[in-house]
Amino acid sequence: MNTQIATESAPARSRRSVRARVVASLGPLTAAVGVAWGVLQPWRVTLLHPAGQGFWWLLAEPPLLVVAAGIAFALLVAPGLVADLEDTGR
């Protein structure tokens, strides 16, 4: 019985570099900060008390924009950056 077959078929696990992990965590961290900002300063989110504000005023709230930027970075930018960092080996 040959035991080398079992060890050869196991895929090699590659670890991400510190830079790749930092880049991948920037988006979720930014979104979490936006949520925390909205919780800590609820008067900045006028969705809670619109008081005659228009749609665009309600949409362009700073905490909501920070959350949207974090999500956009995590989904659109970070995967490409992480792939480039892994390709270069850094």
Q: What is the DSSP annotation of 35-65?
A: HHHHHH-GGG-TTSS-TT--HHHHH--HHHH
Alpha-carbon torsion (36, 40, 44, 49), positive or negative: positive
pTM of the model: 0.73
pLDDT, one tens digit for every residue, the chain (90 residues): 566 665 555 555 567 789 999 999 999 999 999 999 989 988 877 766 667 777 777 778 888 899 999 999 999 999 999 999 988 876
Output the six-digit token pair for 68: 């949207």
Give me 3's structure tokens.
């035991």
31 sits in which H/E element: helix 18-40
Instruction: List, for residues 32-42, the tens digit of each pLDDT value.
Output: 999 999 899 88
